[in-house]
Chains A and B, each alone.
Chain A
Amino acid sequence: MLPFGFSWGIKKKSVALRFFGVYLWWTFFRNVVDIWTSSEKSNNLLLFNFDLLVRFTLLGLMFYHTFQYPYEKRAVLVMIIGFAMLFGVDFVLSNPNLSDLHNHRLNRYSFVVEGVLMLLLVLRFFLYLVRELPVANLSHYPFFWICCGLLIAHAGTIFLTPFLHYFNVWNNPYNFKTMVKIEHWVEIIRNAAFTIAMFFARRSTN
């Protein structure tokens, strides 16, 4: 429901919020394709990997349009380009035989790097909020809630994802019940924060 809700009055929203809307639509598309491919019992890890690059780019562009200073914007662009390069290298190194989709592996290092970069961006934004007080009422500021969701999601999974992705392979699945539960819980909290952001963004232009 989130992408549909967020699209309401998208023309009046700021560029940063529009990028966030695109991110939600992309996630929605990925999830739909995931469900469909799973039901067809076909491998969707390639899409899952590609999602990492797309989501970091979209969220990075969202921060690019949120940050005020040119040096911050430049840093975000460097992060996006650097991450895209790392992603490419990691993708190839993780999968020596790219045509073998059955034994295709999730990116091993990109997930962790993405998590760390995202945490840095969120913390930088919080520092900006605390130092410059750009809004009078923080609880009504959609970007605050978006960043809360991102912080919780990435902080909660920063140690989980490498484990899940290193050990959990097609031919040798491990049972990480508690870890998967934590991942699901932080995703629920993240989506709840995004829903609050959506509520306050319905008339917001910043």
Chain B
Amino acid sequence: MLQTANDGILIASIAMLLMAMFIIIFVAYYQQRHAQHQITVKEMQERHRQELMAAMFRGQEAERRRLAQDLHDDIGTMLSVAKMTLNQLERHLDRFSPERAQAQKTRTLLDDTLKNVRRISRDLVPTTLERFGLLAALEELVGNANTELVSVQLERPETFDFSNTALDVMLYRIVQELVNNAIRHAGATHIIIRFFVHENELRLAVIDDGRGFDIDEVVQSKQRGLGLRNIESRLSVVNGHVTFDVAPGRGSRIMVQIPLENPKLVALLT
């Protein structure tokens, strides 16, 4: 009788052990499958987010182009016609009359307005970027930013083989934002822009001797952090990232890295 009980207990124990093993395998398998599914969903969400961001930036650039064209073709042309008309009117006025002085003053104002319209139009769509590429556009940006008070220096390679219009626009906008920040907000007097490609990765560094800033404070602030968030959003489309080596009271060093091995992501921008 004891032997029968012994056998029964043995079979029941083995059955329980098998059941325990089955439960463990089931939990592990189910969890693994579910986790895999979640990763796939996350990847799809990330892809969708990248596409949305890319579409937003494409729309932004198209809108800028339209604005620049309107400014150049409509307002610029009308201002030029107004200036020509004023010149004709000026010829009929007496040389030393107060009306002629008034007309000359108006013409100076029109000249200034035309210059501003051209500058805004150029900032909206950098024609040099489209015609001569990123390196020439950066040279032009540096040339325009250089003043008696601010010295901007560009360190760049001789050629840039990975050129892509959308990527060029993105990089140009990032440099533009960082240089503007350094001049306007940090009060920098010396800015260095380093731009190079290292191991299939595009690297960009903007270093300045300004007063720096508290990155946490700026990121939390809705208004002040807009530019930096914009940079991060642009970079997220191409899996790039930005590093801020910055603190109040000292210069800042902002580094951007963009992997170039995934042309699909860059193509999203186009």
Chain B residue at minimum C-beta to C-beta distance from A160: B13
Q: Mark A137-163, 1 if CB is under 8 A from B, else 0.
A: 111000010001001100111111001
| B136 contacts partner chain A, Cβ-Cβ < 8 Å | no
B23 and A123 contacting across the interface, CB-CB below 8 Å: yes
A156 and B20 contacting across the interface, CB-CB below 8 Å: yes
| B109 contacts partner chain A, Cβ-Cβ < 8 Å | no
The interface stretch among A29-37, A79-87, A94-102, A175-183 is A175-183
Q: Mark A56-85, 1 if CB is under 8 A from B, else 0.
A: 000000000000000000000000000000
Q: Mark B31-52, 1 if CB is under 8 A from A, else 0.
A: 1101100100000000000000
Sorting the interface of chain A by its residue count into under 10, 10 to 19, 20 to 34 or 35 or more gives: 20 to 34
| A46 contacts partner chain B, Cβ-Cβ < 8 Å | no
The interface stretch among A16-24, A126-134, A198-206 is A126-134
From A130, A136, A159, give the contact of B16 (CB < 8 A).
A159
Q: Mark A23-63, 1 if CB is under 8 A from B, else 0.
A: 00000000000000000000000000000000000000000
Contacts of A144 in B (CB 8 A): 27-28
B16 and A126 contacting across the interface, CB-CB below 8 Å: no
B24 and A148 contacting across the interface, CB-CB below 8 Å: yes
The interface stretch among B1-9, B90-98, B241-249 is B1-9
Sorting the interface of chain B by its residue count into under 10, 10 to 19, 20 to 34 or 35 or more gives: 20 to 34
Q: Give the Cβ gap from B140 to chain A, nearest Cβ, in Å.
A: 48
| B17 contacts partner chain A, Cβ-Cβ < 8 Å | yes
Contacts of A174 in B (CB 8 A): 2
Name, among A139, A151, A157, the residue most crowded by chain B CB atoms within 10 Å (CB to CB).
A151
A138 and B27 contacting across the interface, CB-CB below 8 Å: yes
A138 and B13 contacting across the interface, CB-CB below 8 Å: no
Bound-state CA distance A159–B17 (Å) is: 11
Q: Give the Cβ gap from A119 to chain B, nearest Cβ, in Å.
A: 9
Chain A residue at minimum C-beta to C-beta distance from B28: A138
Bound-state CA distance A163–B7 (Å) is: 12
Chain A residue at minimum C-beta to C-beta distance from B20: A155
Contacts of A129 in B (CB 8 A): 27, 31
Bound-state CA distance A90–B103 (Å) is: 113
| B30 contacts partner chain A, Cβ-Cβ < 8 Å | yes
Name, among B2, B19, B23, B32, the residue most crowded by chain A CB atoms within 10 Å (CB to CB).
B23
| B101 contacts partner chain A, Cβ-Cβ < 8 Å | no
Chain A residue at minimum C-beta to C-beta distance from B21: A152
B13 and A159 contacting across the interface, CB-CB below 8 Å: yes
Contacts of A182 in B (CB 8 A): 10, 13-14
B16 and A133 contacting across the interface, CB-CB below 8 Å: no
Bound-state CA distance A174–B9 (Å) is: 15
Chain B residue at minimum C-beta to C-beta distance from A150: B20
From B9, B12, B19, B32, give the contact of A138 (CB < 8 A).
B32
| A186 contacts partner chain B, Cβ-Cβ < 8 Å | yes
Bound-state CA distance A163–B14 (Å) is: 15
B10 and A179 contacting across the interface, CB-CB below 8 Å: yes
Contacts of B34 in A (CB 8 A): 130, 133
Bound-state CA distance A157–B23 (Å) is: 17
Q: Give the Cβ gap from B11 to chain A, nearest Cβ, in Å.
A: 9
Known: A133-B31, A138-B27, A138-B31. A151 touches B20 (CB 8 A): yes
Bound-state CA distance A152–B18 (Å) is: 9
Chain B residue at minimum C-beta to C-beta distance from A119: B20
A137 and B35 contacting across the interface, CB-CB below 8 Å: yes
Contacts of B6 in A (CB 8 A): 176, 178-179
From B9, B21, B30, B31, give the contact of A179 (CB < 8 A).
B9
Contacts of A186 in B (CB 8 A): 17
Chain A to chain B contacts (Cβ below 8 Å), 18 pairs? A129-B27, A130-B31, A136-B35, A138-B28, A139-B28, A148-B24, A151-B20, A152-B17, A155-B16, A155-B19, A156-B16, A157-B13, A159-B12, A160-B9, A163-B9, A178-B6, A182-B14, A186-B17
Which chain B residues have a beta carbon within 8 Å of chain A's beta carbons? 2, 5-6, 9-10, 12-14, 16-17, 19-21, 23-24, 27-28, 30-32, 34-35, 38
Which chain A residues have a beta carbon within 8 Å of chain B's beta carbons? 123, 126, 129-130, 133, 136-139, 144, 148, 151-152, 155-160, 163, 174, 176, 178-179, 182, 186
6 nearest A-B pairs in the assembled complex, by CB-CB distance = A155-B20, A155-B16, A159-B12, A138-B31, A156-B17, A151-B20
